[in-house]
Structures are given as structure tokens and as C-alpha cells.
Chain A
């Protein structure tokens, strides 16, 4: 199996595709999570709504029951109070009834005598046809009825049998009438308009005239729901009303899901119905979810922008790092090359550098692009002797002294250490032009050094001749001259290898 080389482009494309995939997955995941949140919340809302509605319906039904029971108690006490008062005329009776009515804040508080004559604060009337509880000759027990006579306000009538004699008449009943609007206000006290509620008769008629939401309004609840639920459900719903049962019903009107909870109000024949529109909550939840989703989208966009910016910065930094590294590499390369071309002891160019330069110069010589070139070949006298007699440290110092001497004089030339005690100096341009003076001065210095027993360097030199094909041709001539000079210096007292070898110390 042959492995393929992974290119930089392939890496970049893979990174880009990977980033896009990750982003798509993040977005999809966020969207799915939002949808799941909405769905879960809706289910929770339905469950909580049903519980909330049942609780509210039950509480309100009990409120009405308490109101009824309280009024029955008040009536008994009121009759007792009236019975105890000294009532001698119809006017006295009216005043007493007025006091009770005012005390109990009732729409109507009245007594009924055995002839079905009704006594109220301001009127006395024959009420046999007006009050349902007077339909029978006698009233055996308390009676609750709903009255809505000829456009009057709908009222809850509570009657109890009594047995008192006032102003010579036998009274058989006492009753109060409570305006259903007052009951509605009582029920709405803690509502804060969070739910809809209405009171219904067993035939579905709205007694309270409160709107059960916009869609049902004040319509007969059976008429309003008939087209929106199955016949079976609708029949069951009606049966519940007819039999004073509690229950819940969910239906859809104009694509809006409604849930109602109904609770019978004991002894009244009423059903108290409360409704909370799920869509209201759902809309709110949806709004919140959409806000969250929008925030998520914003986060993603922000993330994308940040990632893009970060990538750009990272890319820039990487590029900078790469460039710096490249520069460093170049510098290192330069240093290494410099190190490779420099003699560590003397600091002048080494033989490697000389060979490189020689190759370059050979090209120029062949090309004929150079004419002023002089090569000085130098050799340190007596190095072996110093090494052998004074140690390598002294030998090294001698090399350094020789290098310093050469560099001091040939400051316009390129100095190379080409061997242990050998140096070469290339003279171009100014160095070439001043070669004679410099060489003369150098030789003079060397000769003085012999006397002072200091470093002695034999040099020979030559210039490029038209016949020369390579630098080595020049070198040979210079080297030859150097040996001649070495002999000359020997004669002046300078140490040489041959001398040293012949006269061992």
C-alpha cells in the first residue's frame, strides 16, 4: 500500500468542512432542543392547566356554597331578630326588613305570609306567581332557585320556611335574592383576569353573562361546542350538566385548543365553568421559545463571527510565527554557514570558506569577469617548534598572533586560515591596489619580529595572469614565492620546520 502525501490544501479543506459540519450540527441541535422545549412545555402546560382549572372551579363552587350557607344562617338570625322586635304595624315591619336588608347588603330580603303576600322594605305584594318557591302551598325545607323574570336581573333566590306571627299574620317563609352579578364579582375577586369563568344552567344557558373566552362568549355552552367535539363527548358533556357532575372538556374552535373545567354548585342546578385558553399560554411559551431560539441564532452568529475573527487572528499569528521561524531558520542557517566558514580559533574564514570562494572565483576567472586579483599565501614560522617546546597553548597563541598580524596589515583583503600554520589572503579592489605597500610593510614587520623573537610569518604572493585558468594557478606561484621567502627569513634567524627538525632542543 502506497501512502499518499497529505498536502496543505487538503488539510485546510478538511478543517473547513469539519468546521461547517460542526456549526450545522450546533445549529440543528439548538433548533431541535428549542422545539423539544416547546413541546415539553406545552405538555406541562396542559397538565398544569387542568390541575389549575379543577382547583379554581372547585374553589369557586365552594365560594358560592359558602355564600348560600351563610345567607341561610343570616336569614334564620334575621327572622329571630324580627320576631323579637316590637312590631305593631306594617310600617314597623318594613323598617325592620329594611334594616336586615341593609345589614346583609341584599338585593331583596322579604317575608311571606300564609296568603303568599310578600313583605319587603318598600312594597307588599301578592307573589304567588312571581316566586317559584311559592308554587307549592307549603314550604317544607330550604329552597334554592334561580330567578330571571321578564328582563329583570338574574338572581339567586334562597328561601326558608319560618313560623312566626307578626302584626297578627302568620308568616310561612323568608327569602333573599342575591344578584348573580354580585356573585360574579365575588368570584372574580381573585381572578386577575387570568381565566374565564361563567355560571351555566343545566341546559347550558349562561346565567352569569360573563364571557367564557372570546369564542364561546356568552352563548349557550352546548350550542357553542356542539360542532367542535364528537357527538359522544357532547352527549356526555350534557349528561354531566344534567346530573350535576364535574368534568373537563378539551375542544378546538378555529384551530384554537380550549380546555374547560366544570364543577357543579351544590343545590343550585348550576355548573361553574372555568376556562384557560392554552393557546394564550402556548403563545407566551412560543414567544419565549422564539426569543430563546433567536438568542441561540444570535449566539451562533456571534460564535461564527468570533470563530472567524479568531481564525483570522490565529492564521495571522501562525503566519507570523511561520515567518519568524523561517527568518530564524534563515538566521540560523546564516550563523551555521558562518560557523562553517569561520575558523574558531582565529575568527578568520577557514579552509571551507576558502574553497567556496575559490570555486566562485574560478567561475569568474573562466568567465573573464575578473582581472584584479592577488593572492597572498602565508605560513607561520616555528609553530611546530613552539608546540613541541612550549605546548599547544603557546602554539595556539602563536597562531592567533600570526592571524592578528595578517589581519592588521591586510585589512582590505579576505583572510583565510587554510591549514594549521597556513593562511591565505585574497586581495581585490583596494586590497589589490595597495598590495605592494602592504606586503612591504608586512615583511618589514616580520623581520623586526625576528629580532624581537615574536611571531614570524613567511608570505609569498602572485596576481592573476591572463593565462591563469583557475585560482590554483595563482596559488602555486604565490606558494612558491612563500617558500623562497621562508628560506630568506631563515637566513635572518627565523625558526623554520627544517631548522627545528635539524636542531632539536
Chain B
């Protein structure tokens, strides 16, 4: 009973937030690749398995992702939800979900090669470095492994991975966030870009989208582009350096979940007026958004990424290929949220237990 009330309460919050999004969507819907329609929501926690009937009763997967970080913990929760729902249908799914403490294509390569030696039904990769990892994936597929990519970074376009589940519009996400920043700044001023991990497709694509957008406006200038390697502390240090080097910096474009937090800490510390736009749902970042330190955040639906990844993995394990059962790329939404949406999102994602 209490769980039902809990779920109902959460649904109501989601619906309420969806309505808010719907109300303001006309203002930014054209800025996102994945258009936020009126019924869209930031995070969709209500998932059911599709009608596909798995061929086996037991599956064992291996997933590796870029770095130990709360963003991928959110993806893990979606996977666990799917795993429980399969279990309710009598299908046991076991999996490993591993990442290094620091983003590293070497570590990812090592993990993939080790996984290849084990008897996993499917190996999933959140590509740490498109250039380095794509060939590894190709070799694994060539040797008979079923490999898929997931989360926010796909492999290179010619990679032989079987399918991808996650963000397919990172470039556009970067462009949309930057467009919002430019509009806020009146299309003039200096901007610093914090990219994230070097070579990570999602971060690089967003940074490219940001650069291309700023290039459209003659009165705007990019004064620094730095890689924080998904480290909040590193992002903070880089933002402080940028502000010291360019005290008149008017804005920051932050391309991952860590760097808006680092940039916000720096802006607060140096009492800068710089406007920050960034990615995702870090609790500290959402609090900065609520307090007006961060202007907007592009929140990806990690839960759905995790849930759909497991569903696609089951189908791939059964020998299916992209087609009617699942697409080559299963796209997930990104929603740009502003100050007024921060409180309900915080409530949905974290409650206020640890504020």
C-alpha cells in the first residue's frame, strides 16, 4: 500500500513537472534534437517491458562505462528496474556494470578484452574514446562477441557494434544549451567551454555544437576550451583559471555532468557574474540551478537509457539485429530545465533528504 502511494506521489510529481515543461516548451522545443513534446518528461520512471518474449530463461551481460560517477549510477537504476521486471517474468538476468575511477580508454580496452574471454551473452560499452575503442569493438564482433553501445557515447559511425541505446543528439544538446546562453547574454561576450573527457564522443560532440553556435554570433568569443576529465575538482580548477585569465568572461558552456558543478563553485568563489549552462542532474548542480547560479541544465533521461539498454541487450543476446524489434539507435530524451523546474526535479530525483 505504501509503495503504491509512493509511486502515485511520484507520478503526480512527474505529471506536474511535465505540465511545467509543456507550458514552457514552446520557448525551447526547437533547440533540442529530441524535441520535447507536450507530454514529455525529464525522467520517465514508469517503464514496462515490451511484448518481446525472450528465448532463454537466463542471461548474463557485461557493461562497461566511462567512469565511476553518479550519472551512470542513474543509468544503473534503470537497468535494475528492467532486471527486476524480467525476474517477475521468470527470466534471470545477471550482469556486471563496471567502470574505472578515472576515464581511461586503456582501462576500458582492458575490461573489454577480459570480458571477451568470459561467456557473456552481450557486452555493452559506453565508449570512453571513440577513436580508440571502436576498433576494439570491431575486433570483438569479428571474433563472435555480441557488442552494443549505450549511455551517451556511441562508437564511430562505421563501427560494427550491433546497436546503440542512449543520447543520439549530443551535438544538438551542446548547440541548444549554448543558444540559450547566447540569448541570455544578448548574443555578445566571452565564453569558456569545459568539455569533459578527452575523446569521449558525447562530450566532444556537445563541445562542437557549442563552438558552432557561438561562431554564428560575431560579438561572441570563445576564450578557453578545457578538458576536466569528468572531475568536479578539475572542472573547478579550470574554471577558476579561466576566470582569472579572463575576468570579463560572460558565460560557461559545460558539456558533462561534473563541470557545471565545478564552474558554479568557481563563479561563486570569485563572485563572477558569468552565466553557466551545463548538462544533467547532479544534485549539487540542481541546487545551483535552483539558486540561480546555473542558468540551465540539459537533463538526460538516464533511467530510460538503463532500462532500454537491458531490453535491447536481451534481444541482441537472442540473435536479433536492429530492425522491427529495436532500432539501430534507440534515442533517449534530453530536456533543458531552468530555475523554476529545479525544485520539483530535486524532489523527484533526490527528495530533500540530504539537502
Residue numbers of A with Cβ under 8 A of B are 94, 116-117, 122-130, 146, 148-154, 179, 181, 184-185, 188, 201, 203, 205-207, 209-210, 218, 220
10 A-B pairs closest in CB distance: A205-B352, A125-B97, A150-B74, A181-B2, A130-B73, A124-B96, A128-B68, A148-B351, A148-B353, A201-B353
Inter-chain contacts of B10 with A (CB < 8 A): 151
Give Cα A151 to B283, complex, Å. 12
Selected A-B contacts with CB under 8 Å, 24 pairs:
A117-B98, A122-B93, A123-B79, A123-B83, A123-B94, A124-B97, A126-B98, A128-B68, A129-B72, A148-B354, A149-B74, A150-B74, A150-B302, A151-B303, A153-B3, A154-B353, A181-B6, A184-B2, A201-B354, A203-B352, A209-B5, A210-B2, A218-B9, A220-B352
> Is B236 engaged at the interface, CB distance under 8 Å to the other chain?
no
Q: State whether B353 touches A94 (Cβ < 8 A).
A: no
Q: State whether A130 touches B354 (Cβ < 8 A).
A: no
Contact A209 to B352, CB < 8 A, known contacts A149-B74, A149-B77, A152-B77:
no
Expressed in whole angstroms, the minimum distance between the Cβ of B103 and any Cβ of chain A is 13
Give Cα A206 to B77, complex, Å. 22
Contact A150 to B98, CB < 8 A, known contacts A122-B83, A218-B9:
no
Q: Which parts of B282-336 form the interface with A (CB within 8 Å)?
A: 302-303
Give Cα A122 to B348, complex, Å. 26
Contact A125 to B351, CB < 8 A, known contacts A130-B73, A150-B302, A150-B303:
no
User: Which one, A122, A154, A218, contacts B92 given CB within 8 A?
Assistant: A122
Give Cα A150 to B73, complex, Å. 8
Inter-chain contacts of B45 with A (CB < 8 A): 151
Expressed in whole angstroms, the minimum distance between the Cβ of A71 and any Cβ of chain B is 19
Expressed in whole angstroms, the minimum distance between the Cβ of B260 and any Cβ of chain A is 17
> Is B76 engaged at the interface, CB distance under 8 Å to the other chain?
yes
Contact A129 to B69, CB < 8 A, known contacts A123-B94, A124-B96, A151-B45:
yes
> Is B247 engaged at the interface, CB distance under 8 Å to the other chain?
no
Chain B residue nearest to A125 (CB atoms) is B97
Q: State whether B354 touches A123 (Cβ < 8 A).
A: no
Contact A123 to B96, CB < 8 A, known contacts A151-B45, A205-B353, A207-B351:
yes
Expressed in whole angstroms, the minimum distance between the Cβ of B342 and any Cβ of chain A is 15
Expressed in whole angstroms, the minimum distance between the Cβ of B302 and any Cβ of chain A is 7
Q: Which parts of B332-355 form the interface with A (CB within 8 Å)?
A: 348-355
Inter-chain contacts of B68 with A (CB < 8 A): 116, 126-129
B45-89 to A contact mask, C-beta < 8 Å, 1/0 = 100000000000000000000001110111011011001000100
Expressed in whole angstroms, the minimum distance between the Cβ of A368 and any Cβ of chain B is 118
Among the interface residues B74, B98, B350, B353, which one has the most CB atoms of the partner chain A within 10 A? B353
User: Which one, A123, A149, A153, contacts B73 given CB within 8 A?
Assistant: A149
Q: Which parts of B125-140 form the interface with A (CB within 8 Å)?
A: none
Contact A181 to B99, CB < 8 A, known contacts A205-B351, A209-B9:
no
Give Cα A128 to B73, complex, Å. 10
Q: State whether A151 touches B77 (Cβ < 8 A).
A: yes
Expressed in whole angstroms, the minimum distance between the Cβ of A491 and any Cβ of chain B is 140
Expressed in whole angstroms, the minimum distance between the Cβ of B84 and any Cβ of chain A is 9
> Is B214 engaged at the interface, CB distance under 8 Å to the other chain?
no
User: Which one, A146, A151, A153, A185, contacts B349 given CB within 8 A?
Assistant: A151
Chain A interface helix/strand/loop/mixed: loop
Inter-chain contacts of B9 with A (CB < 8 A): 209, 218
Chain A residue nearest to B10 (CB atoms) is A151
Give Cα A137 to B19, complex, Å. 43
Chain B residue nearest to A207 (CB atoms) is B353
Q: State whether A125 touches B6 (Cβ < 8 A).
A: no
> Is B281 engaged at the interface, CB distance under 8 Å to the other chain?
yes
Q: State whether B76 touches A151 (Cβ < 8 A).
A: no
Give Cα A205 to B355, complex, Å. 9
Inter-chain contacts of B353 with A (CB < 8 A): 146, 148, 154, 201, 205, 207
Chain B residue nearest to A153 (CB atoms) is B6
Contact A151 to B348, CB < 8 A, known contacts A124-B98, A181-B2:
yes
Q: Identify 12 new A-B residue pairs, CB closer than 8 A, beyond the known A126-B97, A209-B9.
A: A94-B94, A116-B68, A124-B98, A126-B99, A129-B73, A130-B70, A146-B354, A150-B281, A150-B303, A151-B10, A181-B2, A220-B352
Give Cα A184 to B2, complex, Å. 8
Expressed in whole angstroms, the minimum distance between the Cβ of B246 and any Cβ of chain A is 32
Expressed in whole angstroms, the minimum distance between the Cβ of A202 and any Cβ of chain B is 10
> Is B43 engaged at the interface, CB distance under 8 Å to the other chain?
yes
Contact A129 to B97, CB < 8 A, known contacts A150-B303, A184-B2, A201-B353:
no
> Is B101 engaged at the interface, CB distance under 8 Å to the other chain?
yes
Give Cα A94 to B95, complex, Å. 11
Q: State whether B77 touches A150 (Cβ < 8 A).
A: yes
Chain B residue nearest to A108 (CB atoms) is B80
Expressed in whole angstroms, the minimum distance between the Cβ of A445 and any Cβ of chain B is 126
Chain A residue nearest to B99 (CB atoms) is A126
Expressed in whole angstroms, the minimum distance between the Cβ of B329 and any Cβ of chain A is 24
Q: Which parts of B99-122 form the interface with A (CB within 8 Å)?
A: 99-101
Inter-chain contacts of A146 with B (CB < 8 A): 353-354
Give Cα A117 to B94, complex, Å. 15
Among the interface residues B3, B69, B99, B348, which one has the most CB atoms of the partner chain A within 10 A? B3
Q: State whether A181 touches B97 (Cβ < 8 A).
A: no
Expressed in whole angstroms, the minimum distance between the Cβ of B305 and any Cβ of chain A is 12
Expressed in whole angstroms, the minimum distance between the Cβ of A242 and any Cβ of chain B is 13
Give Cα A447 to B204, complex, Å. 176
Expressed in whole angstroms, the minimum distance between the Cβ of B117 and any Cβ of chain A is 14
Q: State whether B94 touches A122 (Cβ < 8 A).
A: yes
Inter-chain contacts of B354 with A (CB < 8 A): 146, 148, 201
Give Cα A420 to B94, complex, Å. 149
Inter-chain contacts of B350 with A (CB < 8 A): 148-150
Give Cα A152 to B101, complex, Å. 23
Q: State whether B95 touches A122 (Cβ < 8 A).
A: yes
Inter-chain contacts of A184 with B (CB < 8 A): 2
Give Cα A228 to B80, complex, Å. 43
Inter-chain contacts of A207 with B (CB < 8 A): 351, 353
Give Cα A151 to B73, complex, Å. 11
Q: State whether A181 touches B3 (Cβ < 8 A).
A: yes
Inter-chain contacts of B72 with A (CB < 8 A): 129
Inter-chain contacts of A185 with B (CB < 8 A): 1-2
Give Cα A355 to B101, complex, Å. 150
Give Cα A201 to B355, complex, Å. 9
Give Cα A201 to B73, complex, Å. 23
Give Cα A203 to B346, complex, Å. 15
Chain B residue nearest to A94 (CB atoms) is B94
Give Cα A154 to B348, complex, Å. 11
B208-236 to A contact mask, C-beta < 8 Å, 1/0 = 00000000000000000000000000000
Inter-chain contacts of B302 with A (CB < 8 A): 150
Inter-chain contacts of B77 with A (CB < 8 A): 149-152
Expressed in whole angstroms, the minimum distance between the Cβ of B74 and any Cβ of chain A is 4
Give Cα A209 to B10, complex, Å. 10
Expressed in whole angstroms, the minimum distance between the Cβ of B354 and any Cβ of chain A is 7
Inter-chain contacts of A123 with B (CB < 8 A): 76, 79-80, 83, 94-97
Inter-chain contacts of A206 with B (CB < 8 A): 351
Give Cα A185 to B74, complex, Å. 27
Give Cα A124 to B83, complex, Å. 13
Give Cα A153 to B352, complex, Å. 13
Inter-chain contacts of A149 with B (CB < 8 A): 70, 73-74, 77, 350
Inter-chain contacts of B3 with A (CB < 8 A): 153, 179, 181
Expressed in whole angstroms, the minimum distance between the Cβ of B244 and any Cβ of chain A is 30
Q: State whether B352 touches A201 (Cβ < 8 A).
A: yes
Give Cα A151 to B43, complex, Å. 9
Inter-chain contacts of B87 with A (CB < 8 A): 122
Give Cα A55 to B43, complex, Å. 42
Give Cα A127 to B77, complex, Å. 12
